[in-house]
Amino acid sequence: MSEQNTAPKETLFSPKNRKLLSEPIGKSNPITVQVLGICSVLAVTVQLRASLVLAIAVVAVMGLANVIISLLRHGIPPRIRIIVQLTVIASLVILVDQVLKAFVYDVSRQLSVFVGLIITNCIIMGRLEAYALQNKVWPSFLDGIGNAAGYGSILLLVAAIREFLGSGTLMGYQMIPNFLYDIGYVDNGFMILPPMALITVGVIIWVHRHRDRGLVDIS
């Protein structure tokens, strides 16, 4: 709290802070622009339900990790900062894992190792290194939530496409009417396999760059 008192000019949702939230969802999206965290996108997006849970878990871990590292930033010796970051993330992930096991056991089993692998999600440590270590608590929190939301939104989009085309359902509810099956429609089995996740992400990147020409000349 003392952090905010020293900078009274900055309101909680000033344009600068709002940008922290909105930019990672669009212009600097961790998946479609920075191409980070791809592995989990390929692995858990077969069903929307699992992706939703993972997205929420990542939002929680990232928001909290950024806050904790930001609070500790003056006390962390630069030499061991990576270890400290990992400890913080790992503790949070264990917490999240326990919560999932307690309340949504079936989803937790479905996500299996991927909850644990949130620790290795490069987006989280990337934001800790790049942002939380240098910035105050509130902006760090927003940055964490924003990036996690950018990651989560792509996760949900890919999962929705894959579940809809691959199984004909969304969140487990049948979406494609029976008469379509009767006249010969068949669910696309390729959508359930990992390669299609990669291609779906590729198409999303394509559409994203087509709409936002500023991204095209990055490399």
Q: Which residues would be at the binding site for other proteins (CB under 8 A)? A: 184, 186, 188-191, 193, 199, 202, 206
Q: How far is the CB of 158 from other proteins (least distance, A)?
A: 15
Q: Which residue, 103 or 185, is less far from other proteins as judged by CB?
A: 185
Residue (of 2, 28, 38, 44) closest to 143 by Cα position: 28
CB of 207 to other proteins, least distance (A): 12
Distances (CA, A) of 163 to 49, 156, 181, 193: 10, 10, 16, 11
CB nearer to other proteins: pick between 82 and 180: 180
The amino acid that residue 89 corresponds to is I
Element containing residue 116 per DSSP (H, E): helix 113-116
Q: Which is nearer to other proteins, 113 or 183 (CB)?
A: 183
Nearer to other proteins, 91 or 188 (CB): 188
Listed in sequence order, the residues at least 6 apart from 44 whose beta carbon sits closer than 8 Å to its beta carbon are: 50, 51, 54, 111, 114, 155, 159
**C-beta of 188: minimal distance to other proteins in Å?**
5
CA distance 200 to 204: 6
Report how far Cα 171 is from the mean position of its chain's Cα atoms. Answer: 18
- Taking the complex as a whole, the smallest distance from the CB of residue 189 to other proteins amounts, in Å, to 5
Residue 83 or 207 having the CB closest to other proteins: 207
Q: How far is the CB of 150 from other proteins (least distance, A)?
A: 23
